[in-house]
Amino acid sequence: IPESELMQNPVAASTALEAIQKLGCRVAIDDFGTGFSSLRLLHSMPIDAIKIDREFVSSGKGNDHLAVARTIVQLARSLEADVIAEGVETRDQFRFLKSVGCGSAQGYLFSAPVNPARIVELIQEGYPLEQGA
């Protein structure tokens, strides 16, 4: 769920997310860092993961963006949530994210987007889901 959606109706969002988790699904906040959620609100939400928006992953944007990525990782740890970095395109980005404790990443460094049917085929073919770029 995008961070911005949580802000529109936090009580309803929290109730819906709890119901989703009861079904056995994991909940991730998408595009984190681009909205205006408060720390109190974030702490009250039933989330399993935070996805760092690609804007803060791009090392070409300067040290300020990398500092934000580092801070988001620390925040996620304090909430006992996993961290997923979006838009990872270079090995340097991936190394930096690993060095600050980001546990997962997605982006063109690993694969171009694929449709669900192709994902099933890749799994059946034994394609490794985790790669150490």
Which range among 101-105, 107-111, 122-126 shows the weakest confidence by mean pLDDT? 122-126
Cα separation, 108 vs 83, whole angstroms = 18
Strands (E), 33-92: 49-52, 82-85
Q: What is the pLDDT of residue 60?
A: 55
Q: Domain locations in the chain?
A: 3-124
pLDDT, tens digit, 9 for 90 and up, residues 54-105: 888 876 556 777 888 889 999 999 999 999 999 999 999 999 999 999 989 9
pLDDT interval class at 111 (50, 70, 90)? confident
What's the residue count for the chain?
A: 133
Place of tokens 């620390």: 74
The model's pTM: 0.80
**HSE-up of residue 53 (Cα within 13 Å, Cβ side):** 14
Q: Distance (Å, rounded) from C-alpha 123 to C-alpha 118? A: 9
pLDDT, position 2: 77
pLDDT > 70 in the chain, percent: 89
SS3 57: coil
Confidence at residue 106, expressed as pLDDT on a 0 to 100 scale: 93
Which positions ≥6 away from 3 have C-beta within 8 Å?
29, 30, 31, 32, 33, 34, 35, 37
CATH topology of domain 3-124: TIM Barrel (3.20.20)
Q: Give the C-alpha separation, 133 to 94, whole Å.
A: 7
